Amino acid sequence: MNPIITARSLVKKYDGLSAVDHIDFTIHEGEVFGFLGPNGAGKTTIMKMIYCYVPPTAGQLLVNGLNVVKSPRGVKAILGVVPQEDSLDPDLTVYGNLITYSRYHEVPGAEARERANRLLEMMSLTEKRNVIIENLSGGMKRRLLIARGLINNPIILILDEPTTGLDPQARHLVWSKLKELKNSGITIILTTHYMEEADRLCDRLVMMNNGKILDKGSPVDLVRRHIGKEVLEVDYVDDALVGEIRTALGDKFTIDHYGDRVYVFTDSAHETASRLQHLNLKAVSERKASLEDVFLMLTGRTLVD
Amino acid sequence: MNNLNPYSGVSHRSFYVFLRHYDVFMKTLSTSLIPPFLDPLFYLLGMGYGLGSMVSPIKGMTYVEFIAPALVASVIMTAPFFECTVGSFVRMHFQKTFDAMIATPVSIEDVVTGDILYGAGRALLQGTAIFIVIMFFGLVKSPLALFIIPLCFVLALAYGPIAMLYTSFIPAINYVDYFFTLIITPMFLFAGTFFPIEQLPIWAQKVAWFMPLYHTVNIARDLNVGNFAGIWDDMLWMVVCGLFFYALALWRMRKRMLK
Ligand SMILES: Nc1ncnc2c1ncn2[C@@H]1O[C@H](COP(=O)(O)OP(=O)(O)OP(=O)(O)O)[C@@H](O)[C@H]1O
Ligand SMILES: [Mg+2]
């Protein structure tokens, strides 16, 4: 597996605030790589450094062997960029957006028209071809942004929250298209707040907070290392209840509480629940451990603060 | 990219930015074609024939002959000034069009240059419209005056950067008002457009000499009477002014956009 993006001790400071704080990561050719973390973690800042919109304060960032500071044009030529913020051209139609964008990438005219039509088809936007951007729904805009990001046949596709605001059908559509793209060999970098999305799509991901990477690995690996197999959830009443659960189970279990729920991480939720029967717990639920549990465990406390 | 040479970020890709603006313009063609003809017509009638009937000839020209070429010159200034302040700021700040463009091999310098080219295109269109109007009134005095038309484009290239530089500093659209009031209005009135600068006090004449519009008006007036030899010192001034502000605008916009 060849590394296609490498960051070494990457730093981005905005007058004093470290948005990205000495980060290292390597993304391999052909993989789907995710960046997860709460609002303000620094995900978008990393994306922007990769597509040469934000210059790093320090450290090194290589994309396909090119330094983002020294060769921005070369880097941007091989990237498809789907930004978090809508940057569609409101003065043009749906089709006009794709054609105009293809010119920035110097895609030859006939080829660009063919690709534009194919991408509209792929994103189920053919009917909206001649509509101006203002008259698209939020989800259609996001799909058009994805189509626009593919107009130059990128080697690396950067998706900053690609499915935020999409309805379930559209989200599944995007997921299946991304899987196809991955199978065709393209490298995909993704940020998301949907754990299910990260779980389904990402080969590897990093969890970050406050500009730092907390942990990295495959979704399965992260869940196994941090949580185990299953989770028992009960309603939070007060800290005394958490104490009672702890007393009943002993030190071997990790018990956490975020918001109005208490979580017990275990290998068998059912067996653990039976050991807590005497407490008359409310709204008990037993389920499989998920990436969301890892996310909350690693970043949860700061959210509660 | 060479950090010491602000021009080094400019490439042929600025033409794609220009093309984008051209496409948008063509969509609204029917509404954008009429005003450029009506505006100068009203000025000619009101200022030239109305006010001019009370004014004695200036340097051997009737008043309307005096202001006709200055009207062409004034849009060489106002068209790119408008485009590269309001137009560019809206695209940069509200529409995020700049962001979209510079996520491709197009550089911020290409975007700035494309906007300046388009501003010059608008000046060409509006200048030509005025030229047709004054020709219709018999106010064009020499066939050499036709050179004013391509020069509308060329000279406007010196104004776009001034507006771009201003745009690179402002945090909100309403700051454009200051540009109109403090830059456009004084130039429009005092750069020898509606009366010779010799009417001004000496200090003000010196200030007026530094206004690009003063030199643009000189060029337009000289060409209108066929005095080709008279334009070169003013041309030189326009080129120097243009290159100077172009470099500053490129440098400032890069600083603003890539933080
Ligand atoms: N241009 C800027 N100037 C100053 N601070 C900035 C700028 N852009 C981002 N920041 C700060 O950098 C930090 C990281 O922001 P970033 O947009 O990378 O977060 P994120 O992980 O993408 O969050 P979200 O999930 O909300 O999109 C935040 O504290 C943000 O306020
Ligand atoms: Mg973000």
Could you tell me the pLDDT band of residue B21, with boundaries at 50, 70 and 90? Answer: very high
Using CA atoms, how far residue A272 sits from A230, A240, A256, A263, A292, in Å, is: 10, 19, 15, 12, 20
| Per-residue burial over A79-116, b = 16 or more CB atoms within 10 Å of its CB, e = otherwise | bbbbbbebbbbbbbbbbbbbbbbbbbbebeeeebeebb
Residue of chain B with shortest Cα separation from A102: B104
| Together in a domain, A232 and A209 | no
Domain co-membership, A15 together with A44: yes
pLDDT in tens, A176-233: 999 999 999 999 999 999 999 999 999 999 999 999 999 999 999 999 999 889 999 9
pLDDT at B215 over 70: yes
Cβ–Cβ below 8 Å for A91 and B95 = yes
Percent of chain B residues topping a pLDDT of 90: 82
- Stronger pLDDT, B35 or A150, i.e. the higher one: A150
**Could you tell me if A204 and A79 lie in one domain?**
yes
Least CA distance to B13: which residue of chain A?
A: A104
Phi-psi region of A64 (alpha: psi -120 to 50; beta: other; left: phi over 0): left
Residues A213 and A234 in one domain: no
Instruction: Name the closest-CA residue to atom 29, ligand 1.
Output: A40
Of residues B28 and B224, more confidence is placed in: B224
pTM: 0.93
B111 at interface of A, judged by CB pairs closer than 8 A: no
Same domain membership, residue A14 and residue A144: yes
Confidence of residue A257 (pLDDT cuts 50, 70, 90): confident
CA A37 to ligand 1: nearest atom? 21
| β pairing state of A285-288 and A230-235 | antiparallel
Q: Tell me, what CATH number does A202's domain have?
A: 3.40.50.300
Is residue A304 in a domain?
no
Of the three residues A217, A247, A269, the one that is the final residue of a domain is: A217
What is the number of alpha carbons within 13 Å of residue A119 lying toward its C-beta? 27
**Residue B1: pLDDT band with limits 50, 70, 90:** very low
Question: Is there a contact between A91 and B106 if contact means CB atoms under 8 Å apart?
Answer: no
Q: Do A100 and B259 touch (CB under 8 A)?
A: no
pLDDT at residue A51 greater than cutoff 90: yes
User: Could you tell me if residue A297 is inside a domain?
Assistant: no
Q: Which residue of B has its CA nearest to A93?
A: B24
Q: pLDDT, tens digit, for every residue of A160-175?
A: 999 998 999 999 999 9
Q: What is the DSSP letter of B58?
A: B
From chain A, the residues in CB contact with B19 under 8 A are 100, 103
Residues A175 and A259 in one domain: no
Q: Which two tokens stand for residue B10?
A: 């400019």
Kindly report the nearest CA distance between residue A52 and chain B, in angstroms. Answer: 7
Q: Are residues A189 and A268 in the same domain?
A: no
Residues A122 and A150 in one domain: yes
Whether A296 is in a domain gets the answer no
Ligand 1 atom closest to Cα of A12?
12
Domain shared by A143 and A71, yes or no = yes
CB of B12 less than 8 A from some CB of A: no
- The verdict on A271 and A208 lying in the same domain is no
Name which of A224-238, B16-30, B46-60 the model is least confident about.
B46-60
| Residue from A17, A190, A195, A206 whose mutation best tests the ligand 1 pocket (most atoms within 8 A of CB) | A17
| Segments making up each domain of chain B, as ranges | 14-257
Contact B105 A88 (CB under 8 A): no
pLDDT of residue A301: 56
- Considering chain A, what is the average pLDDT of its residues? 93
Count of helix runs (H) and strand runs (E) in chain B: 13, 0
- Give the residue-averaged pLDDT of A69-98: 96
User: What one-character-per-residue DSSP string does A75-100 give?
Assistant: HHHTEEEE-SS----TTSBHHHHHHH
Contact B104 A85 (CB under 8 A): no
Provide long-range contacts, Cβ within 8 A and 24+ apart, for A256-262: A256/A296, A256/A297, A256/A300, A258/A296, A258/A300, A258/A303, A258/A304, A259/A304, A260/A235, A260/A236, A261/A233, A261/A234, A261/A235, A261/A236, A262/A233, A262/A234, A262/A235, A262/A236
Considering the domain architecture, whether residues A52 and A177 belong to the same structural domain is answered as yes
Residue A206 placed within a domain? yes
Q: Between vectors from CA A117 to CA A113 and to CA A121, what angle results, nearest 5°?
A: 165
Residues A166 and A260 in one domain: no
Cα(A57)–Cα(B125) distance, integer angstroms: 45
Nearest residue, CB atoms, A85 vs list B23, B96, B101:
B96
The answer as to whether A298 is a domain residue is no
| Chain B interface includes A282 (CB < 8 A) | no
How high is the pLDDT of residue A186?
A: 97
Determine, for residues B20 and A72 on separate chains, whether the beta-carbon distance falls below 8 Å: no
Residues of A in contact with B96 (CB under 8 A): 85-87
> Is B104 touching A (CB cutoff 8 A)?
yes
Pocket test for ligand 1, best of A45, A84, A295 (most atoms within 8 A of CB): A45
Say what the pLDDT of residue B90 is: 97
Q: Is A37 in the pocket of ligand 1 (CB under 6 A)?
A: yes
CATH of residue A266's domain is: 3.30.70.270
How many domains does chain A divide into? 2
Q: What are phi and psi of B145, to 5 degrees?
A: -60, -25
Out of B16, B103, B107, the one facing A51 most closely (by C-beta) is B103
Determine, for residues A104 and B107 on separate chains, whether the beta-carbon distance falls below 8 Å.
no
Range of the domain at A182: 3-217
Q: Is residue A241 in some structural domain?
A: yes
Nearest CA to ligand 1 atom 30: A40
Å between B36 CA and nearest CA of chain A: 22
The count of residues in chain A is 305
* Residues of chain B found within 8 Å of residue A76, distances taken between Cβ atoms: 103-105
